[in-house]
Amino acid sequence: MKILLPFAVVLLLLGTCFFIDVPGAFAKGEHYRRLAANLLVLQGDLRQLVERSTSVKHLQSLHGRIEEKLAVLELLVRYANQENLLISKDSPESFHKLKRLFVSENFFELENDLDRLSKKYPLLLSPVLHSGLTTEYFKQAEKIHQSLCSGCHSGALSESAVPAFDLFSQSRTMSRREFAARILTGLRGDQLTSLENPFTDTELSALISYYRNSVPVEIN
pLDDT tens-digit series, residues 67-80: 999 999 999 999 99
Judge if 186 and 175 occupy the same domain. yes
Q: Which residues of 70-103 are buried (b: 16+ CB within 10 A; e: fewer)?
A: beebbebbbbbbebeeeeeebeeebbeebbebbe
Q: Which of 124, 142, 160 is the last residue of a domain?
A: 124
Q: Is the pLDDT of residue 126 over 60?
A: no
Clarify whether residues 38 and 1 are in a common domain.
no
pLDDT in tens, 45-67: 999 998 877 778 788 888 999 99
Residues 155 and 105 in one domain: no
> Which DSSP symbol is given to 3?
B
Are 160 and 57 in contact by the 8 Å Cβ rule? The answer is yes
What is the span of the domain harbouring residue 45?
A: 23-124
Mean pLDDT, all residues of the chain: 74
Q: How many domains does the chain have?
A: 2
The answer to whether residues 93 and 29 belong to one domain is yes
Give 190-219 pLDDT, tens digit per residue: 444 334 556 666 777 778 888 887 653 443
78 shares a domain with 17: no
Compute the distance between CA of residue 87 and CA of residue 118 in angstroms, rounded to an integer.
17
> What's the 3-state SS for 56-96?
HHHHHHHHHHHHHHHHHHHHHHHHHHHHCCCCCCCCHHHHH
Asked if the model's pLDDT at residue 122 lies above 80, the reply is yes
Please say which residue of 124, 141, 173 terminates a domain: 124
Cβ distance 197 to 8 under 8 Å? Answer: yes
Shared-domain flag, residues 13 and 29: no
DSSP 126: E
Q: Are residues 31 and 44 in the same domain?
A: yes
pLDDT at 14 over 60: no
Query: Do 101 and 81 share a structural domain?
Result: yes
Other Cβ atoms closer than 10 A to 55: 12
Mean pLDDT of 40-45: 94
Query: Per-residue pLDDT for 174 more than 90?
Result: no
For residues 32 and 120, membership in a common domain is answered with yes
Same structural domain for residues 213 and 169? Answer: yes
15-24, 33-42, 118-127: least confidently modelled range:
15-24
Lowest-confidence segment of 86-90, 138-142, 160-164 by average pLDDT? 160-164
The answer to whether residues 31 and 103 belong to one domain is: yes
The answer on 120 and 29 residing in a single domain is yes
The pTM for the full model equals: 0.73
Q: What is the CATH number of the domain that holds 218?
A: 1.10.760
78, 93, 124 - which closes a domain: 124
Provide, rounded to the nearest whole percent, the portion of the chain with pLDDT above 90.
Answer: 28
pLDDT at residue 186 above 70? yes
